Structure 1
Amino acid sequence: MRRFYNGFRLGLASTALSGFAGAALAQERVLPTGRLFSSSEVIFSSLAIGAIAAALLSTIWLMRQKGNLEAESQEIRGALSDAQQRISKYEALIADKNRRIVIWEAGPSRPEILGQLPTETGAPADDREFLAFGKWIRAHSAVELERGIETLRSDGRTFDLVVETQRDEILEVQGRVSGGKAFVRFIALNNLRAELAELKIERERLVSSMNLFQSLLDALEQPVWHRDAEGKLAWVNHAYGDAVEASSPAQAVRESREFLGTIAREQIRAAATPTSPYHDRISTVVRGNRTLFEVVDVVASAGSAGMAIDVTEAEAIRAELARTLTSHAETLDHLATPVAIFDREQRLQFYNQAFVRLWDLELGFLESHPDHNELLDKLRSRNKLPEQLNWRNWKEQVLSVYRALDTQTNRWHLPNGQTLQVIATAHPQGGVTWVFENLTEQVDLETRYNTLVKVQGETIDHLAEGVAVFGPDGRIRLSNPAFRALWGITEEQTKPGTHIKAIEAACAVEYEKPDGWRLFGQMLTNFDDERPSLQGTFELTSGIVLDYAVIPLPNAQTMLTFVNMTDSARAERALKEKNEALRKADELKNDFVQHVSYELRSPLTNIIGFTDLLKTPGIGPLNERQSEYVDHISTSSSVLLTIVNDILDLATVDAGIMELSYSDVELDDLLDDVAMQIADRLNENSVMLEIVAPRGMGSIVADQQRLKQILIKLITNAANFAPEGSTITLSSWREGLNVYFSVADNGPGIPEEVLPTVFNRFSSGKGGKRSGAGLGLSIVESFVHLHKGDVKIDSKPGVGTTVTCRIPSAVYARSVAAE
């Protein structure tokens, strides 16, 4: 406005000068005569004066304009100073460490960031890192902030947020729009505002948690309720509503439908305290069924809350479990395998009788539920556990099963020679079950089996017999060197798995007739329930004679054995020939003995008869020498006749044709008859006979003549060896159906090495008064055996000899002698 005014004044000045010059020109026209100056001079003067006036006016104007410009400049400098002060004040305000502003221009552009936040908030100083909100702001706050910034820039929707940093600091964030720009202010709150923000966040967290827990309780299948301070229902879950048959939880609260009875509620109200919640089992009716619930009720200043857990099924299961555990305990107690169960505290909770017998521990100690560590120490002190170089490490290894997931199995070799398989199984709920399986017999059998297998392998390999074992598929399992040597085949040809067809082809060279091996193949691979054995003989082309045997084995296996019988066959032929010759010789001998015996008996009978006749007075007297000779002839003839009779008896026994003539024999008469018949012989030997037998022994069914021969032979033998003037004892007694006869003398006795041969034929002892053929005791043994009895002899050198015969009473009327 001022500039316009000054220009206007300059125009007026120019107009005035122009008017003054025009007036001068007009005056010159009016006064053409008598003028002092010419027109050119007047014009020049006017121009000069006008120029001077214009210059003066311009100078004056310029001076005024300069003053105006100086005043305006001074005013601008003052405004600029005020603006700078105002900018400094704003910059100081923006540069506050408790505030940071992010500015976005309209459209896509890089944001401008002003200010700083305290380092304790965890906000990065770097702009790029600052904008990565998820790295320094908690996840839920970062998501909410980014969503607010997006709506602020796109829709201009302002927001106010309270966010939490990773360092648990609280920031207030404001989003605003101004002048087409989006501003987001991050403000670090002061104490009161921070506390208020924290309370706000805590409130939101608590409300969220309460809603979450309420949703969780509402999803439970167990009834849950909340009562106010007056005891009225304030909230229930769906399970509560279903239990009281309400259409919704709200209806149950509105109508105050109680889940528990009045008495139960009164008990809860009386028993529950803020420091001691109510916890007990209560029975109530749900949907018409009596149900057992485990009720927990907690009391607080604002009321109470409770929950009911249905334990009806659990109680039934617990009772069933108790019955099952009792049954299992009774079952385990009757097991022969020792069992012990320890709880999670490693204390003994169960043991059976086999466990007590195994470790021989006192029942009082076991009933005290000892610690497993203590139990191991006690067993070690009693020398019942295996000796260990490092007892502590071994014990820790044993007890490590309580921390293990898998079953542990170990073998303990006890000092008493037992071997135990110790199986320790950890329980999922804690504790361990220990089972002690006695493997002593198994280990012993296994050792013996392995030893037997090795011995059998060595034995089979060193057998002279050829052995080959085939499986049910006809393939060889094993063979020994003798088998390969007999058939002239190699070890490669008989390696395990070779089929019998291949072995048959390899053996065909040695055996012209393949029928035998084909028969072996059929027997090895047949499917008969009963597999027969087979025996026979092979004769190879080489002249070797083999005896074979096909022997079924367990597991459908078959063993073939081959024995080289070449030498045996030759020896057998020779023996058969010799046996035939001996048989014929024996027949000749028997014929000779019988013939000679019968032929000798007649002359001997005549000699004895004529000798006795010579002794009669009717023939005439004999002188002393003649009488002595006749006695010698008579004695020798009697001995010879006895020998002939004995030989005939033995020949009859050997031929199996001797028959016993059974009859009832009175034992008293038998003993008296024997004593009378042997009296002369006893007088000749100057010995006495003592009979020891109870009277009235009764009778026995036997051959009387053979019994007399047995006793006379025994007494004669004893008299031959008894010292002169000694006594021979004949004893007899009865035991049931058996009658015993015993003849004892106090002669020189029989040496121990001679005793086994005393019953042999023609075995005569030395030292007797009269030598004989040595057939007496052999005949005694033969006759006793014919009576189904037995005879034994007991003799000690220098003491004497005792011969005892047992004769059973015969059941049959006749008995034929055994061959």
Structure 2
Amino acid sequence: MKTHLSRTSAKRQGAPRLIRRLLAGTVLLTASDAAAQAAGPARSIFGTPEVVTFSVLIGVISAAMISAIWLIRQRGNIEAENRDLRSSLSDANQHISRFQALIADKNRRIVIWDGLADRAEFLGHLPVETGAPQDDRDFLAFGRWVKPHSAGQLEKAIEALRAQAQSFDLVLETQRNEVLEAQGRVSGGRAFVRFIALNNLRAELAELKLERDQLHASLSTFRTLLDAVDLPAWQRAGDGRLEWVNAAYAKAVETPSASLAVAEERELLATAARDRIRAVATLQTPFRDKVSTVVRGNRTFFDVVDARTPAGSAGIAIDVSGIEAVREELARTLKSHAETLEHLATPVAIFDGNQRLQFYNQAFQRLWDLDMGFLERKPDNGEMFDRLRDGGKLPEQLNWKQWKANALSVYQALDTQTDLWHLPNGQTLRVFATARPQGGATWVFENLTEKVDLETRYNTLVQVQGETIDHLAEGVAVFGPDGRIRLSNPAFRAIWGINETEAQPGTHIRAIEQACLASYDQQDGWKRFAHIITSFDDERPSSRGILELRTGLILDYAVIPLPNAQTMLTFVNITDSVRVERALTEKNEALRKADALKNDFVHHVSYELRSPLTNIIGFADLLKTPVFGELNERQAEYVDHIATSSSLLLTIVNDILDLATVDAGIVELELAEVNLIDLIDDVTQQMGDRLVESGVSLRTDAPDNLGRITADQQRLKQIFIKLLTNAANFAPDGSTIELKCWREGSDFAFSVTDTGPGIPQDVLNTVFNRFESYGQRGGAGLGLSIVESFVSLHHGNVSIRSKEGEGTEVTCRIPSAQAPKVIAAE
């Protein structure tokens, strides 16, 4: 085709050459004409200009005719050549189509670069399932449809192909996991890269090659990684021999290199441990356990993981010696903390990362009163909240789910959450919920019930105290250690005649002293107050005293140190009480003198009356004797009345004298051992005639084993006689008086019962008062008073039980006294 084109170009170049020849001939002709004209101008009929013009015209016409003839001939030749060219072009297109049909396979695509030009020519296409773009511009963006590692290799290979003519063969992976083969070649100054979609055996072979390369790369990567870590690792063959170890393994078995450790078959684990690994490890379940061995002379604990495969096994050992030490220390610490928390009065509960209860102390169980079985099965935190809510132990919420979610959000919180729970039972809890670093949360419940109650009571007390101080009749002022007043009540200001401005808080005691001088003469008093308040003594004594003001007021003051280094002054207006006290003192002195005079009078009169009465009784008895003659009936009756009245009067005088000696405190008991049976017999014999005169009888109920008691026999006898005489006075005629005696340990008890009219309840509380009598035969009212006095002298007690219409019972209990010690004379 190139030869045919060269011939056509030669023919096209022949026409200009012919024209140039014709123009050259015309020029020669014109030159010859000019020479002829120069040789013979006289002989020419035309002039020179005409000849030149004619010659040029002849030349132009000749050239035009020649050119027209040549063009006609040339046109025919060109048409013939065009027919030949169209035939040759048709043949070339047929060849190109045939070649393109051979190249443009659907399973391959060729990219051609002419030298270093950026523009590329594309031939063929790849299958759609490979993910390769059909557009030429998108095809060269390999990173979009080829996996990154394959795209990087391909771009580097193409760059080397175009720049250095380095051929290559690569296997590529597309984003759709399809496999392509890329072949790079250089031919005729052009770079060709052919992409071939592999199938069947070639695809499998390429995939296997790719997988092999990946496996080798991965194996190399992992071995490099294992060599870099400080964890012994190994690989064994099917028979258990070492095939490969890392640098940490070689260091652990003290060999210079890993290859030497494999060659010498240095074992890190003991034989028993290796046998155990072989016995336990299976293809499905690797060996995982803690193994101890000796490394560089030290006992070391490893967490060993050994995985078994059909071709052998591989394992790695993690040094957990430090972790074991920390774990043991942590276990001891947790045990100590648990013991400490167990003895705390503050309820504590710990939940793990799954929000299940792991620990609680007894205070927690007592606070919520939860069943031990429920707690021991480690319930969920939310389940525990629901249990407490069902039991009515948690505060009722408007939105329970929201409240519960907020409470459980502590497991995702970074800071401690604090809340106040007001329980239905009246308790107030401050709840601290803290997320644990290892997962879970710790709940601490601080019972603030007592604190809140105390604060409430304290605030109320402060308010009450403030109101109380303001309304006290006593003047109160509190000073700080700097001598400045902190508070004062209106009574303080009224007592000292100062206003509120002069005693406002912050005023110094010196200023208050000056304000009080108008109503106070004794200046040393306030100076003493100032010294006590502002002194730096370690011990601040209290002080009390009495002040008299110019206004006539009499104040009882007290200086009282307070715990917070403050001092309180109190002033009580005791003017009226002092006056009353003085009056009472004077009156008491007068009464004391009157009482002394009364006692003297009683003693004097008693003794003075006793002598005449004794004489009257004696002379009455003499009149009854026959020595002085016989008395008639009326005279004898009068003498009996005289004797009876005199005896009664003597008894009253003796009773008054006994009570006077008791009141004077001069009565001394003559203690001795008393045989109770003999005492009772003596009393019953002495009272026999008197009871017969009164028309009543006596029934005695006393056991024979009453024994003895240390007491004053004469006073005991008086007690019996007074009680029996009193009962005889009120017992109806023909009735019986009962005397009952018994022992209560070392005490002697007895009672006298009559069936008289009884004592009214309004009189019962006054029967032991002196000169209190009731009934028609009540007497002087001294009997029961003397009984109570003598029983009290014996450190005993007396009681009376009576009901109107049913009689009266008087019970006495006399304890046994200590017998007096007789000291022999030296």
Alignment TM-score, normalising by the size of structure 1:
0.76
Is the partner of 2:590 in helix, strand or coil?
helix
Q: Summarize deviations over 1:342-380 as a string: whole Å, max 9, x none.
A: 433344444445555555555444444444444455555
C-alpha change, 1:533 and 1:263, in structure 2 (3 Å) is closer
> Which one of 16, 19, 39 corresponds to residue 43 of structure 2?
39
Within 5 Å, give how 1:228-243 maps onto structure 2.
236-243=245-252
CA deviation vs aligned residue, 1:312-367 (integer Å, no higher than 9, x gap):
33334434444554555555555555544443334444444555555555544444
Q: 1:767 matched to which residue of 2?
A: 775
- Structure 1 residues 7 and 251, CA gap change in structure 2 (3 angstroms): same
Task: Tell me the CA shift for residue 758 of structure 1.
Answer: 1.8
Given candidates 578, 599, 605, the residue that maps to 1:596 is 605
Which of 647, 654, 668 matches 1:645? 654
Distance 1:782 1:397 in 2: 79
Does structure 1 conserve the Cα–Cα contact (< 8 Å) formed by 2:737 and 2:753?
yes
**Inter-partner Cα distance in structure 1 for 2:585 and 2:120:** 132
**Partner of residue 7, structure 2:** none
Report if aligned partners of 1:170, 1:189 keep a CA contact under 8 Å in 2: no
Distance 2:421 2:30 in 1: 144
Q: CA deviation at 1:547?
A: 0.7
Q: Is the 8 A contact 2:26 2:56 kept in 1?
A: no
Given candidates 292, 300, 310, the residue that maps to 2:301 is 292
CA contact (8 A) 2:181 2:196 kept: no
Closer/same/farther in 2, CA of residues 704 and 135 from structure 1, 3 Å limit: same
**Given the alignment of the two structures, is residue 537 of structure 1 paired with residue 546 of structure 2, yes or no?**
yes
Deviation of residue 308 (structure 1)? 0.9
Q: Give the alignment of 1:250-399 within 5 angstroms.
A: 251-252=260-261, 257-261=266-270, 264-265=273-274, 268=277, 272=281, 275-299=284-308, 304-326=313-335, 328-329=337-338, 332-333=341-342, 337-359=346-368, 361-382=370-391, 385=394, 392=401, 395-399=404-408
Pick the aligned partner of 1:800 from 799, 807, 810. 807
Residue 517 of structure 1 aligns to a residue whose secondary structure is: helix
Aligned equivalent of 1:429: 438
**Hey, what does 2:106 align to over in structure 1?**
none
Q: Determine the C-alpha separation between the residues in 2 that align with 1:17 and 1:397.
A: 123
Instruction: Tell me whether 1:739 sits opposite 2:743 in the alignment.
Output: no
CA contact (8 A) 2:173 2:179 kept: yes
Per-residue CA shift, 1:215-248, capped at 9, x if unaligned?
5544422123456788776654432232122334
Partner of 2:574: 565
CA gap of 1:582–1:42, structure 2 versus 1, over 3 A, is: closer
Instruction: Tell whether 2:753 aligns with 1:749.
Output: no
> Pick from 780, 797, 814: which aligns with 1:790?
797
Deviation at 1:536, TM superposition (A): 0.8
Give 1:404 shift: 4.1
- For residues 21 and 562 of structure 1, the distance between their equivalents in structure 2, rounded to whole angstroms, comes to 169
| 1:173–1:184 contact (8 Å) kept in structure 2 | no
Work out whether residues 660 and 814 of structure 1, in 8 Å CA contact, stay in contact via their aligned partners in 2. Answer: no
1:59-91 CA-to-partner distances (Å, cap 9, x unmatched) read: 455547867998999999x99xx9xx99xx9xx
Q: Tell me what 1:551 maps to.
A: 560
Instruction: Please state how far the C-alpha of 1:416 moved relative to its aligned partner.
Output: 5.5
Following superposition, the deviation at residue 464 of structure 1 comes to 1.9
1-structure distance, mates of 2:144, 2:577 = 105
C-alpha distance after superposition, 1:180-215 (max 9, x if no partner): xxx999x9988679x999999999999988777655
My pick for the range that moved more, 532-541 or 435-444, is 435-444
**Structure 1 regions of 5+ residues with no counterpart?**
30-37, 90-97, 175-182
Match of 2:5 in 1: none
Q: CA separation in 1, counterparts of 2:597 and 2:561?
A: 48
2:582 & 2:636 partners in 1: Cα distance? Answer: 61
Cα RMSD of the aligned pairs, angstroms, is 5.9
State yes or no: 1:655 paired with 2:671. Answer: no
Equivalent residue, structure 1, for 2:622: 613
Q: How many angstroms apart in 1 are the aligned matches of 2:209 and 2:414?
A: 49
Is the CA contact 2:341–2:361 (under 8 Å) kept in the aligned structure 1?
yes
CA distance in 2: counterparts of 1:704 and 1:446, whole angstroms: 65
For residues 2-53 of structure 1, give each alpha carbon's deviation from its aligned partner in whole angstroms, at most 9, with x where no partner exists: 6577545644554466557767987x89xxxxxxxx7233988987985675
Residues 653, 50 of structure 1: alpha-carbon distance in 2 compared, 3 angstrom cutoff: closer
* Cα distance in 2 between the residues matched to 1:380 and 1:166: 58
Distance in 2 between residues matched to 1:616 and 1:346, nearest whole Å: 117
> Residue 44 of structure 2 aligns to a residue in which SS?
helix
Single out whichever of 709-718 and 342-351 deviates more from structure 2: 342-351
Sort the Cα spacing of 1:19 and 1:563 in 2 relative to 1 into closer, same or farther, 3 A.
closer
- Structure 1 residues 446 and 228, CA, compared in 2 at 3 Å: closer, same or farther? same
The corresponding residue for 1:758 is 767
Q: Classify 1:99/1:790 alpha carbon distance in 2 versus 1 (closer, same or farther; 3 Å).
A: farther
Q: Which amino acid aligns with 2:777?
A: K
Q: Note the C-alpha offset of 1:705.
A: 2.7
Deviation of 1:551 (Å): 2.4
User: 3-state DSSP class of the match of 1:689?
Assistant: strand
Secondary structure at the aligned position of 1:660 is classed as coil
**Equivalents in 1 of 2:565, 2:268: separation in Å?**
75
User: Residues 457 and 48 (structure 1 numbering): CA distance in 2 closer, same or farther, change over 3 Å?
Assistant: closer
Contact 2:476 / 2:489 at 8 angstroms: preserved in 1?
A: yes
What secondary structure sits across from 1:532 in the alignment? coil
Gaps of 5+ in 2: 1-12, 97-108, 184-189
Deviates more, 1:578-587 or 1:700-709: 700-709
| Amino acid corresponding to residue 809 of structure 1 in structure 2 | S
Q: Provide the rounded CA distance (Å) in 2 between the counterparts of 1:725 and 1:286.
A: 120
Match of 2:472 in 1: 463
Aligned counterpart in structure 1 of residue 254 of structure 2, from 228, 232, 245: 245
For each residue in 1:436-495, what CA deviation from the matched residue of structure 2 results, as whole angstroms up to 9, or x when unmatched?
Answer: 555555555555545444444443333222233444454444443333333344455555
Change (3 A) 1:620 1:102: farther
* One-letter amino acid matched to 1:798: G
Check 1:812–1:159 CA distance in 2 against 1; reply closer, same or farther (3 A cut): farther
C-alpha distance 256-674 of structure 1, shift in aligned 2 (>3 A)? closer
Between stretches 573-582 and 212-221, larger displacement belongs to 212-221
Secondary structure at 1:678 match in 2: helix
Q: Distance in 2 between matches of 1:805 and 1:48?
A: 198
Equivalent position SS for 2:723: helix
Residues 122 and 166 of structure 1 are in contact (CA less than 8 Å); yes or no, is this contact kept in structure 2?
no
**Contact 1:690–1:727 under 8 Å retained in 2:** yes
CA drift of 1:548 comes to 1.2
1:727 and 2:713 matched:
no
Q: Distance in 2 between matches of 1:290 and 1:300?
A: 30
The verdict on how the C-alpha distance between 1:223 and 1:591 changes in structure 2, with shifts beyond 3 A counting, is same
Superimposed CA distance per residue, residues 103-150 of structure 1 (whole angstroms, 9 cap, x where no aligned partner): 9x99xxxx99999x99x9999x9x9xxx99999999999999999999
Q: 1:284 to 1:515 in 2, by over 3 A?
A: same
TM-score, normalising length from structure 2?
0.76
SS in 2 for 1:771: coil
Q: Could you tell me whether the CA contact under 8 Å between 1:465 and 1:563 is conserved in 2?
A: yes
* Residue 102 of structure 2: aligned partner: none
CA deviations on 1:281-331 (whole Å, 9 max, x unpaired) are 333332123322222234567865432111233334434444554555555
Q: How far, CA to CA, are the matches of 1:390 and 1:446 in structure 2?
A: 31
SS at match of 2:669: strand
Contact 1:21 1:43 in 2 (8 A): no
Q: For residues 757-789 of structure 1, give each alpha carbon's deviation from its aligned partner in whole angstroms, at most 9, with x where no partner exists.
A: 22222212x2142532x2222222222223333
Separation of aligned partners in 2, 1:340 and 1:46: 140
